[in-house]
Amino acid sequence: MEQLQKAIEERGSVLSDHVIKVDQFLNHQIDTNLMVEIGREFISRFQGHDITKVLTIETSGIAPSFMAAHELNVPLVFARKKKSLTMTDHLYTSSVYSYTKEETNQITVSKDFLSSDDRVLILDDILANGQAALGLIDVVKQSGASLVGIGFVIEKSFQDGRDKLEEAGHRVESLARIKSLEGSNVTFLNEVTE
């Protein structure tokens, strides 16, 4: 997705060979026009699957997932990272190790919002080692819902998240795939070479 790659190149900053900062447009300040396009692109990639819910994890997954869910006209459910006082039981839970915060969170989703009748699309902002996605997949499994696929705005293809998710049999779609951040340069892995 050209517009997204341009945003990463021009407005992202490489913090190390492994970490990119995208708070200018994705996970702190949000470029709403870009989010609309991201939502549309996700939907075009997962067309024809009768998706009934989009599932993400707070906080950074919410903006892009909202746009996709809105385009699909289905609810967006986000997993919470901290148990809310009003959510005490009747929950699906899973453990997720956070790549950036270096801590493990118990993620929770109310059983009211996912059931075996659902066809779920999981979306998130960034794929690194796949821990957040694996936690969300676990939640979907517990609910008995069908998982249509998993989408990311940005994939760091030099880390092993995609391999783990594909080995587990899931379809993965990433709108921008970063091959390398070495030398403070962003290099993309473009799937289609014509």
Binding site for ligand 5GP (CB under 6 A): 19-22, 27, 60, 99-100, 124-132, 161
Distance CA(87)–CA(76), nearest Å, equals 18
Count of CA atoms in the C-beta half-sphere (13 A) of 13: 3
Nearer to ligand 5GP, 71 or 160 (CB): 160
133 is in an annotated binding site: no
156 is in an annotated binding site: yes
131 is in an annotated binding site: yes
Residue 85 burial (CB count, 10 A): 6
Task: Compute the CA torsion angle 170, 142, 66, 79 (nearest 10 deg).
Answer: -120
CB of 21 to ligand 5GP, least distance (A): 6
CB of 88 to ligand 5GP, least distance (A): 26
132 is in an annotated binding site: yes
CB of 110 to ligand 5GP, least distance (A): 21
* CB neighbour list of residue 106: distance below 8 Å, 6 or more residues apart: 81, 83, 93, 94, 95, 96
Nearer to ligand 5GP, 27 or 52 (CB): 27
Nearer to ligand 5GP, 21 or 45 (CB): 21
Question: Where are the strands (E) in the chain, listed by range?
Answer: 13-14, 20-21, 53-57, 76-79, 91-98, 103-110, 119-127, 146-156, 172-180, 187-188
Nearer to ligand 5GP, 52 or 60 (CB): 60
Q: Is 97 left (phi over 0), alpha (psi -120 to 50) or beta?
A: beta
CB of 124 to ligand 5GP, least distance (A): 5
12 is in an annotated binding site: no
Q: Annotated binding residues for 5-phospho-alpha-D-ribose 1-diphosphate, as ranges?
A: 128-132
Q: Annotated binding residues, as ranges?
A: 27, 128-132, 156
Q: Annotated binding residues for xanthine, as ranges?
A: 27, 156
